[in-house]
């Protein structure tokens, strides 16, 4: 009698609102436990995905049971380019905690996600904290930077993904879309279907409400001040604070620009204030969704910021996914999340691998860990900081004949 294969189980560490869990669930995995420490994340996850979530501080020792797959994205603000980098931030130790938990529990596979700044922070220390315990435990690993837009997510969101198999070599998910509108975006592919644009994603929403509750939860826009409205009216799609008349520019922007003139900075290299606004282009994927996006980006056509629901859509959360907490909490949950569609693409690829893996054969293997691939960029040029990390990875991990050494670009 043919027995139906059981669902493969998942433990989600640092689960946040549940974007990764949602994608893995849609791909056919069973999420058996999820862990986070941020209360709005706990309540949001519980409301939308299930009661199997617990509020635990994973920086402390804890007893955990394993599952077929462990997934997670340790909090990244300590080395995120979206905020101030703090080398002593306690959140940075959570990368090592994720790796040690996986190494101790020894699931069949793991998936790790983080911001692109993960690679170069602290001269590559986080890369070592992740890879050393896992390779020693016997995991064969791909470590790559990807743009979520190349997997159909309507935003340019560059992230680091690590996928590992215990004693077996996992595949890495294939790109599904061609993306334009960000430096190097087209390098992944130029022959696949185009990534949906902002307006492809948003045009089916009802009109945004100027006051709560809105037709859909979070689809409420903030009223602009008279000065903000003047700026919005003056900005065309793709334009930023630097394109505004000087009298409309933010005072911090003018101050920074004046300082650069005094320093002799060439005109083409003068930047603006980090808080400078930008009107998004309707025919391209969005810029990366962050917790502060409502204060930075304007709707492509309307004179207003994006709504929380629009940001959730660009992150590929369904409209019936309810975010719990104040507006700042909700934006933090959305901005920190793994887009469910990206997670689903990864999960679909991994599920095929896990289904093909013979568990008995795997148990008999001498688990030899190695770094199968390391793709930190598709660009033909790298920063000095990334060059250092590439050299570090080459020397520390890429020692086996089966792996070609990366070329360091001039």
Catalytic entry in 70, 76, 99, 333: 76
Q: Measured between alpha carbons, how far is 296 from 278 in angstroms, rounded to an integer?
A: 6
Pairing of strands 109-115, 69-72: parallel
Among 272, 276, 271, smallest CA distance to 287 is for 276
Pairs from 357-363 (Cβ < 8 Å, separation ≥ 24): 357/108, 357/165, 357/168, 359/108, 362/108, 362/166, 362/167, 362/168
Q: Rounded to the nearest 10 degrees, how much is the dihedral formed by the CA atoms of 217, 218, 220, 223?
A: 150
Radius of gyration of the chain from its Cα atoms, rounded to whole angstroms: 22
Task: Write the CA distances from 159 to 10, 136, 143, 154, 190, integer angstroms.
Answer: 21, 25, 11, 14, 20
Cα angle at 331 between 44 and 301, to 5 degrees? Answer: 130
Q: Could you give the strand order of the β-sheet that contains 109-115, starting from the edge strand earlier in sequence?
A: 53-55, 30-36, 9-13, 69-72, 109-115, 158-166, 139-147, 370-375
- Is there a contact between 120 and 389 (Cβ–Cβ < 8 Å)? yes
User: Is 76 assigned a catalytic role?
Assistant: yes
Three-class SS state of 350: helix
How many CB atoms lie under 10 A from the CB of residue 364?
9
- Is there a contact between 81 and 274 (Cβ–Cβ < 8 Å)? no
- Is there a contact between 68 and 33 (Cβ–Cβ < 8 Å)? no
Q: Measured between alpha carbons, how far is 378 from 157 in angstroms, rounded to an integer?
A: 14
The catalytic residues are 76
């Amino acid at each position: 009698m043919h027995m139906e294969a059981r669902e493969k189980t998942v433990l989600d560490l640092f689960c946040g609102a549940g974007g990764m869990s949602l994608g893995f669930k849609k791909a056919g995995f069973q999420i058996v436990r999820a862990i986070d420490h941020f209360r709005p994340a706990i309540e949001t996850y519980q409301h939308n995905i299930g009661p199997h979530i617990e509020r635990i501080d994973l920086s402390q020792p804890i007893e955990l049971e394993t599952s077929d797959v462990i997934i997670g994205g340790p909090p990244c603000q300590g080395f995120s380019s979206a905020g101030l980098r703090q080398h002593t931030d306690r959140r940075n130790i959570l990368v090592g905690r994720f790796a040690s938990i996986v190494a101790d529990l020894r699931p069949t596979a793991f998936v790790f996600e983080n911001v692109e700044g993960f690679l170069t922070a602290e001269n590559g220390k986080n890369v070592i904290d992740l890879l050393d315990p896992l390779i020693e435990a016997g995991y064969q690993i791909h470590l790559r930077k990807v743009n979520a837009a190349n997997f159909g997510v309507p935003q340019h969101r560059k992230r680091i993904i690590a996928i590992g198999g215990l004693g077996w070599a996992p595949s890495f998910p294939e790109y599904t879309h061609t993306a334009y509108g960000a430096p190097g975006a087209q390098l992944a592919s130029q022959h696949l279907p185009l990534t949906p644009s902002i307006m492809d994603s948003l045009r089916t929403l009802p009109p945004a409400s100027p006051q709560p509750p809105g037709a859909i939860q979070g689809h409420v826009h903030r009223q602009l001040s008279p000065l903000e409205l003047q700026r919005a009216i003056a900005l065309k799609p793709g334009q930023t604070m630097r394109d505004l008349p000087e009298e409309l520019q933010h005072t911090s922007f003018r101050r920074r620009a004046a300082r650069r003139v005094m320093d002799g900075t060439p005109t083409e290299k003068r930047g603006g204030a980090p808080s400078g606004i930008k009107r998004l282009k309707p025919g391209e994927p969005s810029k990366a969704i962050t917790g502060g996006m409502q204060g930075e980006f304007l709707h492509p056509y309307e004179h207003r910021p994006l709504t929380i629901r629009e940001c959730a859509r660009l992150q590929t959360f369904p409209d019936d996914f309810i975010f719990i907490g104040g507006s700042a909490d909700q934006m933090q949950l959305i901005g920190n999340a793994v887009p469910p569609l990206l997670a689903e693409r990864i999960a679909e690829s991994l599920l095929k691998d896990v289904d093909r893996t013979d568990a008995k054969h795997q148990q008999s293997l001498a688990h030899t860990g190695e770094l199968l691939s390391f793709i930190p960029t598709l660009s033909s040029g790298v920063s000095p900081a990334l060059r250092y990390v590439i050299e570090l990875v080459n020397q520390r991990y890429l020692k086996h004949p089966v792996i070609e050494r990366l070329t360091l670009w001039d």
